Every structure is written in structure tokens, then in C-alpha cells.
């Protein structure tokens, strides 16, 4: 059985910061020991990694990605191969992607399609959520089977009428089913029916630029949908996880629900913490690079999101990685913002941007690891296999250099997309080495992994309930 020792580093988990050496055996964490003790010095190893001056972190868990997602007549540009490789470069060793049920088809068919896309191609481990597009008797029954086999979370949309949208009755039925089978409903909370009216009016009045994408997807319509989702979950007696929260008033709705003791959880994404409507308003058609839904908000919302992350009103930061190239894809919406494919690249830079938030004083180091590794693992039934460094856990380990400076750029990133939403941004901190189940994937900033190393992760149910 191969043995690796990581020595000299500061092990940071959601609960602890300790100077400890780490022994890895057969792909799992075998032991931690204080440096220089008999225990640590007696370990024999095939590989020794010097982590002096570095953090030793659990691999990141990105619980919201869309590799190869079909959207608006095109496909997200990262395949499972390129996207998971980019994830590894950024210290993320687990992704949970969204399999899609096509309208009129079964959940099984959608899940099989996503398995076929991912199987044998991933550089790091992966699991699936299921997007429920067609709630009916048969798909409700299928939910039970999926939960039993490890697809334990289901995304529903209050937005995108005619595509993914479910009305309140369908949402209530899915939530009732989830309350019985242990599934977790993930909600895209925007009032899509009202948004579509505003889109039509904007276009008719000649307001066609990317900035109007942000204008029509109003804060009130995110907050209203969040409130409605909470009430429906309350009626169903089901837990609720609100995805990609961007508006201050939506945070307020989640906080109010949690203060009442309801099992309501919230996720935000780096784009809402670091970017704003200023980006959507960039000159020419540049704003298209930042079109995603929920949309970027005015800068003032950022402080509310940071506060929500500090006070646990929000529990998880995922990327909602859904990259479309500017050239040929985002450009589909020139002259009509509603035709710009919704989504942004980000899987590679979540850990670094959140480390920058540590440097800037928004988060503590442990909270960084909590929202990026431990909480998403717990939320989606992967803990403590993923999300921590403790005996028995998978040896998904990141050796992180907290002092390295880097400039984020499309020139140097590894995502298969022709722009960076953070072009030119200087950040402090960078991944040095990444192990996935004890196997090096990134070694001293060189990719040494391979497609097919990543394995499928059947998941348990939410561990916060
Ligand atoms: O704009 C986004 N977020 N695209 C991906 C699909 C979704 O709603 O998460
Ligand atoms: Zn969504
Ligand atoms: Zn998404």
C-alpha cells in the first residue's frame, strides 16, 4: 500500500488549525501527528512532501457546476475532462454537477446521459444532482430511487418558463416527495414569469444591451421567489437549499426562515462577492461576459453576502461554473440580451478568490475551509469522506502557498473558455500541489493527473438535518 507523508505544514480544517504532519496510506488519511514526535518521525513513506510555510487543506468541494450543459442553443464550453482538470488546478477535488431531465423524458435517461459524458473523463471525483424539469407521477417516483442510489438532491426552477420552469404546484409536489425520501430540493429562486414580461418590454423599447439582463431580473423578483420557495418548503415539511443567492433581500428571506428554525440553507458564488452590475455595464458588448442568473447586483449587496457567510445565514460558496466563450457563444446575444447564454466560468478560481477574502478580512481561514470544503460536503452527503483532513477521510489534500501572488487571466487559466471574468485581478495565495485520494494531480504547479482518475461518488442525504 503506497504511503505519503506531508510534513511541516499548517493543517487547516473547518474546525482546527494545527501544525501537524499527515500520513496518507492507500488513498486515505491514516494519521496526523505533531511534527518531531516519535509517531511522526517513525513513519516510513514512498513519497514525502515538504509543506513548510504552506497550508495543508482538504480538497475543495464545488457543489454547483454545469459541464457541457445545453443552454440557449449551445453548450457550456468545459467538458468533464477540461472542467475537472481546471478544478484540480484550483484546488477543487470534488464537483457535484447537474444531470438534466429533458421535458417528457425520465430522470433515469437524463442521469444516464450525464454518466456517459463524465465516465472515464474526470481528473477528480464527481457526483450528480438532478434537475427536475418535468414533475409528474412517474418522475416523483423516480426521485425515491435516485435518492436510494446516491443522487440525493434535486434542482427546481422558478425561472425559465418553457425550459426548466416548474409552477408552484409542481414544486410543492416535488418538495412533498423530498420530505418523504430524504432528498434536498435546490431552488433557482427568481420569478421567471414576471421576468419574461420585463424582458419583452425591455426589448420592445430597444433596451437590448447586456446591462438590461441585470435590470429586468429584479432584486424584488429574487426575494419574492425565495420567500415563496421557503413557504412551499414549510408547507411540505421539506428542507430547502437556495442556489446562487445574489440579492441582499434574498439573504434576508433565508435568514428570517432560519431564525424561525426552518431547515433552509443558502449558497452564493464568487461572482456575486467580487463582481457587480458595473461589469454588466462594461462598454461595447463586454458585459455579456458577466451574464448569469441570478444576475450580478449593485456593489452594496456584496457586504450583505459576506456578512451572511460570516454569520452562517449562507453556508456554501459554489461556482455555478457554466462557461460560454465570448466568441461565438456570448455573441449569440448581440442586439438581444435575452439570447446571451446564461453562465460564467469560475471552477478554477473559487479557492483562490475566497483565500483573497481571508487576506481582505472578510472571512477567517477556518470559515474559508468550511464554506468551500466541509459545508458543501456535509450539505450533499459526502462528509467526512470529503471536506476534511481526518483519519479515514479520502486523501484529497491541497498544499496551498498563502504568500504566492498571481494574476488571474484567460492567458494562464485552464478552463476551456476564451475569457476570464476576473481578468487582471491580483490575488494572494495559490495552489502548489493537489492530491486526489492520495494520488498527485497537480505537483509543484504541474498537471500530473489524467482523465479517468476521478470516480463517481454516490452520495448520502444532507447531513445538516
Ligand atoms: O446563469 C446561470 N446560472 N447558468 C447556469 C444555470 C443555472 O441556473 O444555474
Ligand atoms: Zn440556477
Ligand atoms: Zn447553476
Q: How many Cβ atoms from other residues are within 10 Å of residue 389's Cβ? A: 28
- Check residue 199 and give its pLDDT: 98
Which atom number of ligand 1 is nearest to the Cα of residue 188? 8
> What does the block give as the cell for 226?
425565495
For residues 55 and 368, the answer to whether their CB atoms sit within 8 Å is: no
Distance 338 CA to ligand 3 centre (A): 17
Distance 417 CA to ligand 1 centre (A): 16
Distance 65 CA to ligand 3 centre (A): 6
Q: Which residues of the chain have pLDDT under 70?
A: none
> What does the block give as the cell for 127?
457526483
For residues 47 and 28, the answer to whether their CB atoms sit within 8 Å is: no
C-alpha span between 233 and 261 (Å, rounded): 13
- Please give all residues whose CB falls under 5 A of ion ligand 2, grouped by chain where several chains appear: 188
> What does the block give as the cell for 137?
407521477
Which atom number of ligand 1 is nearest to the Cα of residue 291? 1
Residues 6+ apart with CB under 8 A from 465: 239, 263
Element containing residue 434 per DSSP (H, E) = strand 426-436
Residue with cell 509517531: 39
- Check residue 76 and give its pLDDT: 98
Residue with cell 447531513: 463
> What does the block give as the cell for 311?
454569520
Q: How many Cβ atoms from other residues are within 10 Å of residue 200's Cβ? A: 12
- Check residue 1 and give its pLDDT: 87
C-alpha span between 292 and 27 (Å, rounded): 38
C-alpha span between 24 and 28 (Å, rounded): 6
Longest pairwise C-alpha distance within the chain:
75
Residues 6+ apart with CB under 8 A from 69: 75, 76, 98, 100, 322, 343
Distance 149 CA to ligand 2 centre (A): 24
239, 204, 198: which is closest to 221 by C-alpha? 198
Residue with cell 480538497: 59
- Check residue 449 and give its pLDDT: 98
- Check residue 50 and give its pLDDT: 98
3, 30, 12, 8: which is closest to 21 by C-alpha? 8
> What does the block give as the cell for 173?
409536489
What separation in angstroms does the CA of 25 have from each of 8, 30, 195, 418, 444?
18, 6, 53, 40, 21
Q: Is the peptide bond before 384 cis (omega within 30 degrees of 0)?
A: yes
Residue 79's Cβ-side half-sphere holds a number of Cα atoms within 13 Å equal to: 12
Which atom number of ligand 1 is nearest to the Cα of residue 342? 1
Residues 6+ apart with CB under 8 A from 11: 17, 18, 19, 20, 22, 32, 55, 56, 57, 389
Is the overall model pTM greater than 0.75, yes or no?
A: yes
The pocket around ligand 1, CB under 6 angstroms, is made up of 66, 188, 244, 292-293, 320, 322, 342-343
| 92-100/125-131 β-pairing | parallel
- Check residue 47 and give its pLDDT: 97
- Check residue 83 and give its pLDDT: 99
Distance 293 CA to ligand 1 centre (A): 5
Task: Classify the C-alpha dihedral 299-301-305-306 as positive or negative.
Answer: positive
SS3 content of the chain, % helix, strand, coil (to 5): 35, 25, 40
> What does the block give as the cell for 312?
452562517
For 281-312, give one letter per residue: b (16+ CB within 10 A) or e: beeebebbbbbbbbbbbeeebbebbbebbeee
Q: How many angstroms from the chain centroid is the CA of residue 30?
A: 28
For residue 366, report the phi and psi dihedrals to the nearest 5 degrees.
-70, -35
Amino acid at each position: 500500500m503506497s504511503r505519503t507523508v506531508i510534513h511541516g505544514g499548517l493543517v487547516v480544517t473547518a474546525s482546527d488549525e494545527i501544525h501537524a504532519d499527515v500520513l496518507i496510506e492507500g488513498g486515505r488519511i491514516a494519521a496526523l501527528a505533531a511534527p518531531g514526535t516519535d509517531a511522526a518521525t517513525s513513519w516510513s513513506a514512498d513519497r514525502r512532501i515538504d509543506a513548510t510555510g504552506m497550508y495543508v487543506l482538504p480538497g475543495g468541494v464545488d457543489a454547483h457546476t454545469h459541464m457541457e450543459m445545453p443552454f440557449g442553443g449551445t453548450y457550456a464550453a468545459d467538458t468533464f475532462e477540461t472542467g475537472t482538470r481546471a478544478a484540480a488546478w484550483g484546488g477543487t477535488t470534488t464537483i457535484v454537477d447537474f444531470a438534466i431531465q429533458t421535458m417528457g423524458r425520465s430522470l433515469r435517461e437524463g442521469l444516464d446521459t450525464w454518466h456517459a459524458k463524465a465516465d472515464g473523463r474526470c481528473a477528480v471525483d464527481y457526483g450528480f444532482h438532478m434537475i427536475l424539469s418535468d414533475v409528474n407521477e412517474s418522475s416523483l417516483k423516480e426521485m425515491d430511487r435516485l435518492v436510494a442510489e446516491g443522487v440525493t438532491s434535486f434542482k427546481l426552477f422558478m425561472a425559465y418558463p418553457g425550459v426548466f420552469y416548474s409552477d408552484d404546484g409542481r414544486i410543492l409536489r416535488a418538495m412533498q416527495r423530498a420530505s418523504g425520501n430524504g432528498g434536498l430540493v435546490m431552488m433557482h429562486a427568481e420569478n421567471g414569469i414576471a421576468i419574461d414580461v420585463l424582458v419583452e418590454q425591455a426589448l420592445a423599447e430597444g433596451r437590448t444591451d447586456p446591462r438590461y439582463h441585470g435590470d429586468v431580473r429584479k432584486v424584488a423578483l429574487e426575494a419574492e421567489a425565495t420567500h415563496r420557495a421557503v413557504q412551499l418548503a414549510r408547507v411540505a415539511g421539506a428542507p430547502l437549499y437556495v442556489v446562487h443567492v445574489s440579492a441582499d433581500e434574498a439573504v434576508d428571506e433565508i435568514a428570517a426562515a432560519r431564525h424561525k428554525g426552518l431547515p433552509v440553507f443558502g449558497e452564493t458564488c464568487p461572482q456575486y462577492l467580487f463582481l457587480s452590475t458595473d461589469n454588466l455595464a462594461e462598454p461595447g458588448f463586454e458585459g455579456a461576459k458577466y451574464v448569469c442568473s441570478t444576475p450580478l447586483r449593485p456593489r452594496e449587496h456584496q457586504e450583505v453576502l459576506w456578512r451572511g457567510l460570516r454569520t452562517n445565514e449562507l453556508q456554501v460558496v459554489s461556482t455555478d461554473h457554466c462557461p460560454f466563450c465570448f466568441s461565438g457563444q456570448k455573441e449569440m446575444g448581440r442586439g438581444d440580451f435575452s439570447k446571451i447564454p446564461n453562465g460564467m466560468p469560475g471552477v478554477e478560481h473559487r479557492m483562490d478568490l475566497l483565500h483573497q477574502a481571508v487576506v481582505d478580512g472578510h472571512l477567517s481561514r477556518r470559515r474559508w475551509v468550511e464554506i468551500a470544503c466541509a459545508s458543501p460536503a456535509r450539505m450533499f452527503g459526502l462528509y467526512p469522506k470529503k471536506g476534511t483532513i481526518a483519519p479515514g477521510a479520502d486523501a484529497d489534500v491541497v498544499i496551498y502557498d498563502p504568500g504566492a501572488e498571481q494574476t488571474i487571466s484567460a492567458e494562464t487559466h485552464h478552463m476551456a473558455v476564451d475569457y476570464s471574468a476576473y481578468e487582471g485581478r491580483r490575488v494572494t495565495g495559490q495552489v502548489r500541489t493537489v492530491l486526489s485520494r492520495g494520488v498527485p494531480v497537480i505537483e509543484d504547479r504541474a498537471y500530473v493527473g489524467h482523465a479517468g482518475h476521478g470516480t463517481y461518488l454516490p452520495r448520502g442525504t444532507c447531513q445538516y438535518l
